[in-house]
């Protein structure tokens, strides 16, 4: 049976974040269409595309891959873009130090605005094919992830702090395959997490007889 034949797979929301021109749209296009262009035109308004994948442990899921589509130019990425995100892929350009120094802002925005259970993060240095103009080393990215990212957001430093190039399809496949693995792990974590009192809506509580519980007063 092919991946597309499977019924009702889980959906994993992946959001691509980072400064303009770091290669977010190129990464997604290479993954979905095996297409790369250095002449992308920025568009306005977030959008997402879907791809059904199979994880190494044979779990089927739909990756819902969101692109900011130019909103970052105006420092106006909406809260709706982040909401419900399972994986945040924070992208910087290894040839542009400023895009790396902005990682803290992107991580903070993602953590503050992604609702629901605890998400995962990946830190991705793009354009590694431009080694001659590199400004940021891989070691710097690892130090950022270990010292400035909250514990638990990055599952595995070796797998989740990576460098890639949108020009090479296998690099991008590896990136999004890891997103699928993290999505599967997050679902397992969510299933094992006990419900807290904060998760319970007491506004419609009923007594044993099934009647609405009185509020206030003594009788």
Mean pLDDT of all residues in the chain? 82
**Residue 190: pLDDT above 60?**
yes
Residue 202's pLDDT is: 41
Q: Kindly state which CATH superfamily the domain 7-204 is placed in.
A: P-loop containing nucleotide triphosphate hydrolases (3.40.50.300)
> With b meaning 16 or more CB within 10 Å and e meaning fewer, what string describes 134-166?
bebeeeebeebbeeebeeebbbeeeebbbbbbb
Cα–Cα nearest to 136, from 175, 100, 107, 90? 100
Q: Which residue has the tokens 């993060």?
A: 121
- pLDDT band with cut points at 50, 70 and 90 for residue 39: low
Please compute, for residue 137, the number of CA atoms within 13 A of its CA located in the half-sphere on the CB side: 3
- pLDDT band with cut points at 50, 70 and 90 for residue 26: very high
Residue 103's pLDDT is: 96
Q: What is the pLDDT of residues 97-134, one digit of tens each?
A: 999 999 999 999 999 988 778 899 999 999 999 999 99
Cα–Cα nearest to 68, from 104, 100, 112, 22? 22
Residue 97's pLDDT is: 98
The token pair at 103 is 């990682």
DSSP class per residue in the chain: --GGG--S-EEEEEEEE-STTSSHHHHHHHHHHS---S-PPP-SS-EEEEEEEE-TTS-EEEEEEEE-TTGGGGT---HHHHTT-SEEEEEEETT-HHHHHTHHHHHHHHHHH--SS--EEEEEEE-TT-GGG--S-HHHHHHHHHHHS-TTSSS-HHHHEEE--TT-HHHHHHHHHHHHHHHHHHHHHHHHSPPPGGG--GGG-B-TTSPBPP-SS--
Sort strands 10-17 and 120-126 into parallel, antiparallel or unpaired.
unpaired
Domain boundaries, the chain: 7-204
Residue 17's pLDDT is: 93
pTM: 0.80
Q: Comparing 172 with 20, which gets the higher pLDDT? A: 172
R_g over Cα of the chain: 20
> Which of 65-79, 165-179, 187-201 shows the lowest per-residue confidence on average (mean pLDDT)?
187-201
């Amino acid at each position: 049976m092919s991946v597309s034949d499977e019924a009702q797979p889980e959906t994993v929301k992946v959001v691509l974040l980072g400064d303009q021109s770091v290669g977010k749209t190129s990464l997604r296009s290479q993954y979905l269409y095996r297409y790369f262009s250095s002449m992308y035109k920025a568009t306005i308004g977030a959008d997402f595309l879907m791809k059904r994948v199979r994880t190494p442990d044979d779990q089927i899921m739909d990756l819902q891959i969101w692109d900011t589509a130019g909103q970052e130019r105006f420092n106006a990425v909406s809260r709706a873009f982040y909401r419900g995100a399972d994986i945040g892929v924070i992208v910087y350009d290894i040839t542009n130090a400023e895009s790396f120094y902005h990682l803290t802002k992107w991580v903070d925005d993602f953590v503050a605005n992604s609702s629901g259970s605890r998400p995962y993060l990946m830190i991705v240095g793009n354009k590694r094919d431009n080694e001659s103009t590199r400004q940021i080393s891989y070691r710097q990215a690892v130090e950022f992830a270990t010292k400035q990212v909250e514990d638990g957001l990055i599952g595995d430093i070796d797998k989740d702090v990576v460098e890639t190039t949108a020009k090479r399809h296998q690099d991008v496949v590896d990136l999004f395959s890891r997103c699928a693995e993290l999505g599967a792990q997050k679902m397992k974590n969510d299933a094992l997490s006990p419900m807290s009192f904060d998760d319970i809506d007491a506004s419609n509580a009923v007594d044993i007889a099934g009647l609405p519980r009185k509020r206030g007063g003594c009788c």
